[in-house]
A and B are shown apart, each in its own frame.
Chain A
């Protein structure tokens, strides 16, 4: 009796399995691998990609490691997508260098790779011979420069400035820092008194900036390399009752920081348009799959977001 039940169950499973096999569609499957899905920036990117995929009639798989810095997990995801035989992989690398072995594996499987948001380290790429079809993203250095110019204009050329850095060795954060430093280099009256990492995170932004404020009570402006850390700094400022005394500039212009800019907690952020990146990634992947030539570098606009700009938007 038991044996018979077992045979029936097994046969049923086999049938199910065969069904699964037969519905393999000819539609291209595009994979979007993000750094994480618990950061609004990447959620916007996902939405942009999903809208484009629905419009163009392609299947889209979105995957991301649980933690933004987990380069090994991201590599596992890409390896698994290669096994899954997706048609193209679009990836926002968790690590500029660490992504290279994964790209190489996709190359070997003849799956085109499009890189979004964070550039692959040029040296690591040329040494390994990994091929990236196209890069879609903003010029982060330019964004850092815009932020620097805004800060120096607001300060009138004098004052102490602090910086919250992202994870060291991360291409996007490093480029933003470089741009910011370049913009302030010409301003002799402005000194950068502290520059520390808060690992892209809001709670660390709060802690680190509170410590900075202890050590440097005269800080007049803070530039955080992303909005999450900037929002942490805003809370730190509120905690020491200095609201309105310190200029806070973030990066990414996520929803929360836009709200903070409108109510005056933050003064500016740099908008990168992640939904545009997501849309372009799907479109570019599809073009490449149809055999069309795609540009190797697709810039996405980057701009300063201030209260005046946001007020103008809402009044329309």
Chain B
């Protein structure tokens, strides 16, 4: 009976065991790894990818993909930075940054649900458009130097926990609740599971999908706020390849690229595994070339394990052993 229960929860468990394994490995390899200050450091470094990965989880559960998040980070960042340099109040500037992100996401959503473009194509286009506008807007130059008030979003801490980490935790609790207990969340699963069926059962799938992409864009805007505060600079070339980091974290976290399945807690574990790998490999002194090989292998391994577990699960489901 125990085994069946294990397998029922294994989607979560598999990634959790992965987290324990990488932690144990680096704890053995480096005496500097498992310290409070380094764990805070990892959480802080992972926070930007974590914020983007939340939006990506929604998108992927709804059987979509968003390749434009990195470019949206860059565009939101430079607009935010421009507003700050024009001495707009900090909250207004932040809202502007989030707004630009949401607007980019909204047009992704509209193109996908009403324009009937495949998500891959719509967001690929946005990836180039947003990057281009960011470069055009700044003339290719970084915009830097902000007030201490704004920078405190990255440098501040409450009870010794860095503020980006606090923002991340709050966001994850919020996202978990939305995904589990709101219509938006449940419909996201429904669309990813079978869009046609969701539509027939009266769900306004177009509205929901548009909302999800707008949300994903807005969260990229939030990531831009954190990144800009962290570096005290916004670069039009920022966020390169962020989409891949976010997708990797979501997939490691057990969300199916086919849609309909996945959890926010899984994504958090995925984000932490990626962060721990980067940090640990640095601490151990592994070269950046080898790091890429290791991270890529972990992604592949995670998906392989996930697929194997799922097969087990389907068999047990068929035999009626688990529900």
19 more CB-based (< 8 A) A-B contacts, given A70-B240, A71-B238, A101-B155: A20-B29, A63-B285, A65-B288, A66-B288, A69-B235, A72-B227, A76-B278, A79-B41, A80-B41, A80-B278, A83-B279, A84-B32, A95-B233, A101-B154, A101-B231, A121-B144, A124-B145, A168-B140, A197-B140
Contact indicator per residue, chain A 41-79, by CB within 8 Å of chain B (1) or not (0): 000000000000000000001111111011110011101
A20-B31, A80-B41, A84-B283 given; A63·B288 CB < 8 A: yes
Alpha-carbon distance between A18 and B283 when the two chains are bound, in angstroms: 17
CB of B233 within 8 A of CB of A37, answer: no
Alpha-carbon distance between A21 and B34 when the two chains are bound, in angstroms: 12
Q: Which of A20, A62, A79, A97 contacts B144 (CB 8 A)?
A: A97
Q: Which of B41, B45, B232, B292 contacts A97 (CB 8 A)?
A: B232
Residues of A within 8 A of B238 (CB): 71-72
Query: How many whole Å from B188's CB to the nearest CB in chain A?
Result: 30
Contact indicator per residue, chain B 22-64, by CB within 8 Å of chain A (1) or not (0): 0010011111100101100100110010000000000000000
Q: Which of A13, A21, A85, A100 contacts B24 (CB 8 A)?
A: A13
A72-B230, A77-B282 given; A83·B288 CB < 8 A: no
CB of A63 within 8 A of CB of B282, answer: yes
Residues of B within 8 A of A8 (CB): none
Query: How many whole Å from B148's CB to the nearest CB in chain A?
Result: 10
Closest to A127 in B: B145
A17 located at the interface, meaning its Cβ lies under 8 Å from any Cβ of chain B in the complex: yes
Query: How many whole Å from B74's CB to the nearest CB in chain A?
Result: 12
Q: Which of A1-50 contact B (CB under 8 A)?
A: 13, 16-17, 20-21, 24, 37
CB of B287 within 8 A of CB of A63, answer: yes
**Interface on chain B toward A: helix, strand, loop, or mixed SS?**
helix
B289 located at the interface, meaning its Cβ lies under 8 Å from any Cβ of chain A in the complex: yes
Contact indicator per residue, chain A 102-128, by CB within 8 Å of chain B (1) or not (0): 000000000000000000010110011
A79-B45, A84-B282 given; A168·B144 CB < 8 A: no
Query: How many whole Å from A15's CB to the nearest CB in chain B?
Result: 10
Residues of A within 8 A of B142 (CB): 95, 97-98, 169
Closest to A85 in B: B32
Give the contact-size bracket for chain A.
35 or more
B237 located at the interface, meaning its Cβ lies under 8 Å from any Cβ of chain A in the complex: yes
Residues of B within 8 A of A24 (CB): 31
CB of B31 within 8 A of CB of A21, answer: yes
B116 located at the interface, meaning its Cβ lies under 8 Å from any Cβ of chain A in the complex: no
Most buried by A among B24, B28, B48, B227: B28
CB of B289 within 8 A of CB of A37, answer: yes
A261 located at the interface, meaning its Cβ lies under 8 Å from any Cβ of chain B in the complex: no
Chain A residues within 8 Å of B, Cβ to Cβ: 13, 16-17, 20-21, 24, 37, 61-67, 69-72, 75-77, 79-81, 83-85, 95, 97-98, 100-101, 121, 123-124, 127-128, 167-169, 197
Alpha-carbon distance between A37 and B289 when the two chains are bound, in angstroms: 9
Q: Which of B32, B232, B289 contacts A100 (CB 8 A)?
A: B232
Q: Which of B276-323 contact A (CB under 8 A)?
A: 278-279, 282-283, 285, 287-289, 291-292
Alpha-carbon distance between A70 and B227 when the two chains are bound, in angstroms: 12
Residues of B within 8 A of A70 (CB): 240
B141 located at the interface, meaning its Cβ lies under 8 Å from any Cβ of chain A in the complex: yes
B139 located at the interface, meaning its Cβ lies under 8 Å from any Cβ of chain A in the complex: yes
CB of A169 within 8 A of CB of B232, answer: no
CB of A98 within 8 A of CB of B145, answer: no
CB of B30 within 8 A of CB of A72, answer: no
CB of A37 within 8 A of CB of B287, answer: yes
CB of B232 within 8 A of CB of A167, answer: no
Query: How many whole Å from A172's CB to the nearest CB in chain B?
Result: 14
Most buried by B among A21, A76, A77: A76
Residues of B within 8 A of A97 (CB): 142, 144-145, 232-233
Alpha-carbon distance between A63 and B44 when the two chains are bound, in angstroms: 20
Residues of B within 8 A of A77 (CB): 282
Closest to A60 in B: B285
CB of B233 within 8 A of CB of A80, answer: no
Q: Which of B35, B38, B232 contacts A124 (CB 8 A)?
A: B232
Alpha-carbon distance between A61 and B238 when the two chains are bound, in angstroms: 26
CB of B237 within 8 A of CB of A167, answer: yes
CB of B292 within 8 A of CB of A66, answer: yes
Residues of A within 8 A of B227 (CB): 72
Query: How many whole Å from B102's CB to the nearest CB in chain A?
Result: 23
